[in-house]
Structure 1
Amino acid sequence: MLLTSVTMLPSKTTNIHRLLQLKHLSRWLVSGKSYSRLVLGIETSCDDTGAAVLDEAGTVLGESLHSQKEVHLRAGGIIPTVAQKLHREHIELVVNEALERSGVDPSQLTAVATTVKPARGVDDFLLLGHTLDEAPGDSLDKVARRLSLIRHPQCSTLSGGQAIELLAKDGDRTRFSFRTPMGQSYDCCFSFAGLRNQINMTIMKKEAEEGIECGTLLSCVNDIAAATQHTVACHLAKRTHRAILFCKANGLLPSLCPTLVLSGGVASNQYIRKALRIITDSTGLCLLCPPAKFCTDNGVMIAWNGVERLREGTGILPPNADISYEPKAQLGVDLTAAVKAAAIRLPSVRMKI
């Protein structure tokens, strides 16, 4: 999740090379044209280079994406310096492709939006919970690496999370029973490091039983994947359930069509979507999930955030303003202490997925 800022520009900016050579790729470039406003979004925050052009209605006019996945799979994970180098090598091609596919000349752009810090939206947030250690996607990737899924013939070109989801479809999640984290903590925060330790201990035990070394595929790999995915999904569902109940108790949800939005890389996992849908169905909310291709890195989400900021007039900077990055940024008003103090106990919900 990412936020952008906006920089006002003179009206006749036409050189896309100038846009790309800016010291910081994390700003808006606004021209002041009077025609319908068009936004170019550029995403370079993690391991893919993406760009997209949107109009003010949110229509995707053109997009392009260069994936670094194969490079990082060979390296065993994302190495920031390698990712940065690959972004530099491919950003101009990606931006030009997005512009070409949209049929938009750089001179027609109203704004260019790129990322400066975590989060998405404009500025109005209430923070109910956050991870205490690592993100769920990171945990799934680490479990996949520990299981050496890159050696699996079906998983050699998949990310860790994708590999877990694929193998879990043919696995028996009941064969391994992992404890859902933080069962006695009545807040909305998440923790995955303890769960990953449980999984690692199980993998070590099964390796000893099968007489194989680390790096060799276990015969029960599908079952471990299924149990891992189910426990992660249940943890996310329970913490989200408490967040919904807290919001209801404090009048924080709209009376008309309250909606839970599931976003980020893990939102592409269909099993996790089903788990969250069970919660929204039981609490009377709608569940909104973006198409899977927009859950991971892409320029569309950045361009749309840019459209929102352009409408609100928020984060618009003068041409020569210094841009500051915030790798870890405060997200809205922190209500985590209030959620914990409420100590909401959850009603039983059967997670039949």
Structure 2
Amino acid sequence: MRVLGIESSCDETGVAIYDTEAGLLGQALYSQVEMHAKYGGVVPELASRDHVQRVLPLVRQVLEEAETRPEQLDGVAYTAGPGLAGALLVGAGVARSLAFGWGIPAVEVHHMEGHLLAPLLEERAPQFPFVALLVSGGHTLLLDARSLGDYSILGESVDDAAGEAFDKAAKMMGLGYPGGPRIAALAEQGTPGRFRFPRPMTDRPGLDMSFSGLKTFTLNTIHDLGGKEALSEQDRADIALAFEEASVDTLIIKCRRAMEQTGYKQLVMAGGVSANRSLRARLGEQMKKRGVELFYPAPQYCTDNGAMIAFAGALRMQAGESAELPIKVRPRWPLTELAAL
């Protein structure tokens, strides 16, 4: 089965073609980061307009790269949610129009399920059941993934997602947008032990998380040093290191508890923050000590991309799913509402 996937949930336009026998045949991605950076975050209307300009040229590019004609496709998959309503509508409208014109079915894909399944694109892939840590700018979840579509939430952030906290902390330090990669790079120059930030909600049982307190602690630390304008480059590096260490420690502690609670021996980590090198290295060490295998996608599949949508769509089409009229998108869509296949 050969499926065209379209991702347009936020500020990246991703298109890919996945074949269930031959694997990933072609992909292309356009990021709007530079456009939104001047505003310090994503502007929904600008994001939607840019998707309109980018998606069809990317589809043509990927069809050519994959040496695929429309009549060779078996379906079109698209992100139906969660995400920005306008951006989702662009991808959904284009995907459904192409599917109708080509006389093939379309299938809705949940954005976070796409992330969850992205590690299965790797040669070394996990097998159900496993625990999944989905950690991005919009979501931070620990899931019990029993089979395709059969997910239950073990724990989640009660306020900001981890990636969102990284972005806001970076903005406080004047590092620009997106903040996660900038904090990670700066943390490598930090002085260990100069600052120690709290590890929220780790002093009590349970798997829920909180990251908003780290933002407040960051703001107070900056204030104590005389404000953003008074920060030296070393001050910024030391704050970045303390912030990253606290965030990573919090995620590791919660993952350890999730593995103990479920008894599983496989942990999947996905989403934009899963590209953080410190998180990968330290979580890998902790899981190895406990006899747990850690899986995560290649860096290009951590952020939003069309490959994960094409892959997830192909799996759902194989199971007999297809989208019905009218075209709908779901800006808010709990992962637990998906049908188990």
TM bucket, shorter chain: 0.7 to 0.9
**Which residue is equivalent to 1:336?**
none
Alignment of 1:100-249 (within 5 A): 100-118=64-82, 119-120=112-113, 122-150=148-176, 159-208=178-227, 213=229, 218-248=233-263
In 1, Cα distance between the equivalents of 2:74 and 2:202? 49
**Which residue is equivalent to 2:108?**
none
In 2, Cα distance between the equivalents of 1:163 and 1:290? 21
Aligned length: 276
Maintained 8 Å contact 1:58/1:304: no
In 1, Cα distance between the equivalents of 2:52 and 2:293? 40
* 1:301 lines up with 2:327 in the alignment: no
**Cα–Cα, structure 1 residues 88 and 60, in superposed 2: closer, same or farther, change >3 Å?**
same
* Structure 1: runs of 5+ lacking an equivalent: 1-36, 151-157, 334-353
* 1:292 lines up with 2:299 in the alignment: yes
* Structure 2: runs of 5+ lacking an equivalent: 83-111, 118-147
**Which residue is equivalent to 1:26?**
none
Q: Which amino acid aligns with 2:238?
A: D
Deviation at 1:282, TM superposition (A): 2.5
SS in 2 for 1:174: coil
Maintained 8 Å contact 1:173/1:230: no
In 2, Cα distance between the equivalents of 1:106 and 1:167? 46
Deviation at 1:128, TM superposition (A): 0.4
Deviation at 1:177, TM superposition (A): 0.7
Offset from partner CA, 1:83-125 (integer Å, 9 cap, x none): 1111111111111111111111112111111111243054111
Deviation at 1:71, TM superposition (A): 0.8
Higher strand proportion, which one?
2
In 2, Cα distance between the equivalents of 1:116 and 1:265? 19
Alignment of 1:268-279 (within 5 A): 268-279=275-286
Deviation at 1:276, TM superposition (A): 1.5
SS in 1 for 2:335: coil
**Which residue is equivalent to 1:326?**
330
Aligned identity (percent) is 34
Normalised to the residue count of structure 2, the TM-score between the two structures is 0.77
Normalised to the residue count of structure 1, the TM-score between the two structures is 0.74
In 2, Cα distance between the equivalents of 1:270 and 1:58? 30
* 1:85 lines up with 2:100 in the alignment: no
Deviation at 1:205, TM superposition (A): 1.2
Maintained 8 Å contact 2:3/2:17: yes
Maintained 8 Å contact 1:42/1:115: yes
SS in 1 for 2:156: coil
In 1, Cα distance between the equivalents of 2:276 and 2:2? 31
In 2, Cα distance between the equivalents of 1:66 and 1:58? 24
SS in 2 for 1:262: strand
In 2, Cα distance between the equivalents of 1:80 and 1:159? 15
Deviation at 1:58, TM superposition (A): 6.2
In 2, Cα distance between the equivalents of 1:182 and 1:92? 45
**Which residue is equivalent to 1:34?**
none
Maintained 8 Å contact 2:13/2:31: yes
